Amino acid sequence: MHGHGSSSTKCDLNDLPNSRKYVKMICMGGIVTPGYIASTIADRHCDIIRGDVVVRNWRGDATPLQHLMTIRKIKGVLHIIDNEELKDLCFLSGLKEIQADSKEQRAALVISNNTALEELLLISLTRLESPALVTVVIKNNPKLFVDVEEMYEVAGGQNRTTLVLANIARDGYDWEDSVPLFAKISVGVTLVVALVLTVLWCTYGTRWKKFSGLSTAIPPTPSKKTRVPKR
């Protein structure tokens, strides 16, 4: 938990990094907190981050996050997870590339469980690299709207994404992760109802035909009694 108040970010896109203005600087990744920003990012104009960048459970004033606007490349994974107040990611509007570690099978970009997130604003992002089958995972962000086709292009193809937008699985690689819970429950209920109806039909269908006169069963032929001659 970081600070108090609103986490609505106000990013000035004119402050995006300029190659002539900033000296190329490599900084270490980490969990983004006010302390991390003050000690590692602020006033350093970091161009490249080496290691994962994790924005988790950020609350309150989002102004310190604007120090991340100088980042152009992350050599690791970008996690935006479990944030209840962030409405957008404009503080990463200068980010152009994410290159996940080639030794681990991990998605390069994970955006999950952000209840207030409405838009990404990753306006500079053009390249994602990961040895994993899925490059991008975006799910459980109930208010988020994304340009799906643009994300497919950045991720390297539709089959390399897991996108769940507005509780609807648009397209993705992992069916189990992509299909909302209510859809799975609906399928299960439908199958159970169909099974019950089948059992009821098999049990009572024959009886109904018999009593309604529609039974096609052939009645048995009565046996002939053998007469014994009288003496």
User: pLDDT per residue over 135-145, tens digit each?
Assistant: 999 999 999 99
Compute the C-alpha angle 64/66/68, nearest 5°. Answer: 105
Is residue 223 domain-resident?
Answer: no
User: Per-residue pLDDT tens for 169-226?
Assistant: 444 434 344 444 444 456 667 777 788 787 777 776 655 555 555 555 555 565 555 5
Helix, strand, coil percentages in the chain from 3-state DSSP, rounded to 5: 30, 20, 50
pLDDT in tens, 72-108: 999 999 999 999 999 999 999 999 999 998 788 899 9
**Which helix (H) or strand (E) element contains residue 182?**
helix 181-212
Report pTM: 0.65
Which CATH number goes with the domain that contains 158?
A: 3.80.20.20
- Beta-ladder partners of 136: 109, 161
CB 40 within 8 A of CB 65: no
Residue 98 lies in a domain: yes
- Cα distances (Å, whole numbers) of residue 200 to 186, 187, 203: 21, 20, 5
Would residue 19 count as lying in a domain?
no
> What domain range is 138 assigned to?
26-164
Distance in angstroms (rounded) separating the CA atoms of residues 218 and 200: 24
Tell whether 160 is covered by a domain: yes
Does residue 178 fall inside a structural domain? no
What DSSP character marks residue 220?
P
- What is d(CA 19, CA 54) in angstroms, rounded to the nearest whole number? 25
Residue 4 within any structural domain of the chain? no
Report if residue 154 sits inside a domain. Answer: yes
Total domain count, the chain: 1
* Residue 200 counted as domain residue: no
Within a 10 A sphere around the Cβ of 51, how many other Cβ atoms?
Answer: 14
